[in-house]
Chain A
């Protein structure tokens, strides 16, 4: 019931998946800045070195982020699915927290990328 073409396709897909995850995992270092953007535009950036709680109030939606011990997490969101809150804390530049209903994205910057920028 399984054909040769099925197996070739499966191998290609696995290779593509591994390639993408490798591309994103390059530079596994803890970042120093958390950049918050709302609807594609940069909203604010926070240092991960200072513990703090901040409220993002944009377009009638409220999200709260908490920075603690170099990690950032979305601790409150008024969205329906709460995927962003359940995702927990992140600290790596390859990670991000996305709250799709409220269009809020938390990204980590810094680490190796920033170091390259300084040495230039």
Chain B
């Protein structure tokens, strides 16, 4: 089985479910260990590690379902309804930006993850600004941008290391 060039649909579906479970565990770890540095909205985003890896291994469509499933379940379990809404906005925006950057084949996982971290924070900020109907919230954007870059780069380096160790299953190595 390890020698097959392309993985079967059943294999991909099973792998997606495992990836979603793994991402959920990472969300849980992040919810119980607050990596908060005194500023609201700053976090590591370790669940994005799973999303990035599966973007390379499984492709866009499977990854989108993993991402949406993770956010909805994690939102219901740990963050509450409003928390899920912020995560969903950030998660969907960052997913499409990362997918787009990956398709260009110009960026390494580090650059893709960095863009994902920043746009995740941007999506959440947009929802927050829409809820309080106050654009002045964007004074907070530079802080979120730089924190998103830093955590994105860290997650990107981890992704790079993991992708190198994974056995090739018919997907292109970055």
Contacts and interface: CB of A to CB of B under 8 A. Distances in A.
B162 to A, nearest CB: 13
B39 to A, nearest CB: 9
A6 B111 contact: yes
Given A13-B149, A101-B82, A96 B108 contact: no
Contact of A100 (B115, B132, B141, B160): B132
A9 interface: yes
B149 A10 contact: yes
Interface string A24-38: 100000000000010
Contact of B110 (A6, A83, A103, A107): A6
A2 B106 CA distance: 10
B40 interface: yes
A72 interface: no
Nearest to B112: A6
Given A83-B40, A101-B82, A24 B111 contact: no
Nearest to B161: A1
A24 B145 contact: no
B88 to A, nearest CB: 15
A48 interface: no
A13 B142 CA distance: 10
Interface string A79-120: 011010011000000111010110111010000000000000
Interface string A1-43: 1110110011001101110110010000000000001011000
Contact of B142 (A18, A40, A83, A103): A18
21 contacts: A5-B107, A6-B111, A9-B114, A9-B115, A10-B111, A10-B114, A13-B114, A13-B145, A17-B141, A21-B142, A24-B139, A24-B142, A37-B134, A39-B132, A39-B133, A40-B133, A83-B40, A98-B137, A100-B82, A100-B128, A105-B136
Interface of B: 38, 40, 80, 82, 104, 106-108, 110-111, 114-115, 118, 128, 131-134, 136-139, 141-142, 145-146, 149, 160
Interface of A: 1-3, 5-6, 9-10, 13-14, 16-18, 20-21, 24, 37, 39-40, 80-81, 83, 86-87, 94-96, 98, 100-101, 103-105, 107
5 smallest beta-carbon distances between A and B, as pairs = A40-B133, A6-B111, A21-B142, A5-B106, A83-B40
